[in-house]
Amino acid sequence: MKTDDDRCIGIIVNPRKEHVEDSLKRLADWVEQTILPVRFVLCTYDSPYVKKVYPKLPVVTEEELLREAEMIITLGGDGTILRLVHTVNSKQTPILGVNLGGLGFLAETSPHLIVEHLEAYLNNEAYIEDRILLKCEVKGANSVFYALNDIVFDKAGFSRVIEIDTHVDDNLLNSYIADALIVSTPTGSTGYSLSAGGPIVIPQTAVFVINPICPHSLTNRPVVIPDTSKIKIQVHTEYKEINIFRDGEKVHSFPTGSSFMISKAHFYARLVRMKSHSFYDTLRNKLHWGEDFRDKKRWSYDFPERSSS
């Protein structure tokens, strides 16, 4: 961590999010009033909207942000954090996510706690949580990419299922006949994999999850393996190509028969967390565990009356 004399905090916003202007103004007002020896910079990704909202914050390029900032605040949702993780990559700059989106498993800080959590970080009252990343190498294509949540092998819109040969450490796991296959980190277990029937995995657990989507066998279920494993995947389809997605965005289309090697990256995504909060709190709050669904006031709906015959 840098000394107080040259500490720099970066700010990135998603201008499409509702109330982002209020959150940015709250943060910027605090910046003007603080006496702490720290400076703040704003990366707008050339968005004129953000510059107009609060022009007093110094605006920097993405390159300058990565070079100068010891920590970056994101005002958006989990998608904003995921895009920043891909930008930060091996530099491992810590990220404090402020959730202006929906569910928000990564961006756990709420807008009204921005200042409180920022002060906790600056006063060394927060901690940094390392999250493992997936590394995917495309055989014969000299292509490597990384993912924080998951990598998905998809049938590219073709109506037929695809065959996905999957090896773990040179041992054949399965030749899945399915619509797609998800390889997920613990962080991604609450994302697409959860929607496809996968388990919830605590972020500090050193595992990967292999989860087929709509497999054509009732015995095919998600498999949890050590994160020290190397996963070799080869995809076959009657169509000419397959699609690869990482963290919800398309990476590229590859010819059928392409091979991929997935392993744990040598660097981490680093998230700023509060000592007063845990992942178990997030699960209860986001998934509404423990709530009484019989509460008619909370879960009441008005249905149209049926006409009598």
Instruction: Give the domain CATH number at 116.
Output: 3.40.50.10330
CA atoms 43, 47, 48, 49: torsion sign: negative
Q: Is residue 165 included in any domain, yes or no?
A: yes
Q: Which domain holds residue 113?
A: 4-124
**Are residues 97 and 151 located together in one domain of the fold?**
no
Q: Per residue in 32-41, pLDDT tens?
A: 888 888 889 9
**Are residues 62 and 170 located together in one domain of the fold?**
no
Positions of E strands within 148-258: 150-154, 162-168, 171-178, 180-184, 207-213, 223-226, 231-236, 241-246, 249-255
| End-of-domain residue from the set 75, 103, 124 | 124
**Are residues 118 and 168 located together in one domain of the fold?**
no
Rounded to 5 degrees, φ, ψ at 61 are: -80, 170
Q: Is residue 221 included in any domain, yes or no?
A: yes
**Are residues 86 and 138 located together in one domain of the fold?**
no
83 known ligand binder: yes
* pLDDT band at residue 55 using 50, 70 and 90 as cut-offs: low
Q: Is residue 87 included in any domain, yes or no?
A: yes
* pLDDT band at residue 298 using 50, 70 and 90 as cut-offs: low
CB neighbours of residue 113 within 10 Å:
15
| End-of-domain residue from the set 102, 124, 146 | 124
**Are residues 54 and 108 located together in one domain of the fold?**
yes
Instruction: Give the domain CATH number at 203.
Output: 2.60.200.30
- For residue 292, give every residue at least 6 positions away whose Cβ sits within 8 Å of its Cβ, in sequence order, or none: none
193 known ligand binder: yes
pLDDT at residue 308, as a whole number: 45
**Are residues 189 and 253 located together in one domain of the fold?**
yes
- For residue 281, give every residue at least 6 positions away whose Cβ sits within 8 Å of its Cβ, in sequence order, or none: none
The average pLDDT across 62-71 equals: 94
Highest averaged pLDDT of the listed ranges 23-37, 226-240, 271-285: 226-240
CA distance 108 to 276: 12
- Which residues are annotated as catalytic? 78
**Are residues 189 and 150 located together in one domain of the fold?**
yes
**Are residues 138 and 113 located together in one domain of the fold?**
no
**Are residues 146 and 204 located together in one domain of the fold?**
yes
Q: Is residue 294 included in any domain, yes or no?
A: no
Q: Is residue 287 included in any domain, yes or no?
A: no
Count of structural domains, the chain? 2
For the chain, the first-to-last Cα distance in angstroms comes to 75
87 known ligand binder: no
Residue 297 has pLDDT above 90, yes or no: no
Q: Per residue in 220-235, pLDDT tens?
A: 999 999 999 999 999 9
298 known ligand binder: no
16 known ligand binder: no
**Are residues 99 and 209 located together in one domain of the fold?**
no
Q: How far is CA 240 from the centre of its chain?
A: 30
Q: Is residue 113 included in any domain, yes or no?
A: yes
CA distance 39 to 54: 15
* pLDDT band at residue 31 using 50, 70 and 90 as cut-offs: confident
Q: In this structure, are residues 40 and 9 in contact, taking their beta carbons and an 8 Å threshold? A: yes
pLDDT at residue 21, as a whole number: 82
Given phi > 0 = left and psi -120 to 50 = alpha, else beta, which region is 266?
A: alpha
* pLDDT band at residue 29 using 50, 70 and 90 as cut-offs: confident
The C-alpha R_g of the chain, in whole angstroms, comes to: 22
Q: Is residue 256 included in any domain, yes or no?
A: yes
Mean pLDDT of the chain: 88
The average pLDDT across 236-248 equals: 93
Q: Per residue in 169-216, pLDDT tens?
A: 999 999 999 999 999 999 999 999 999 999 999 999 999 999 999 999
**Are residues 66 and 158 located together in one domain of the fold?**
no
**Are residues 232 and 197 located together in one domain of the fold?**
yes
Q: Is residue 185 included in any domain, yes or no?
A: yes
| End-of-domain residue from the set 103, 124, 145 | 124
* pLDDT band at residue 28 using 50, 70 and 90 as cut-offs: confident
pLDDT at residue 133, as a whole number: 98
The average pLDDT across 272-290 equals: 87
What count of residues does the chain have?
309
190 known ligand binder: yes
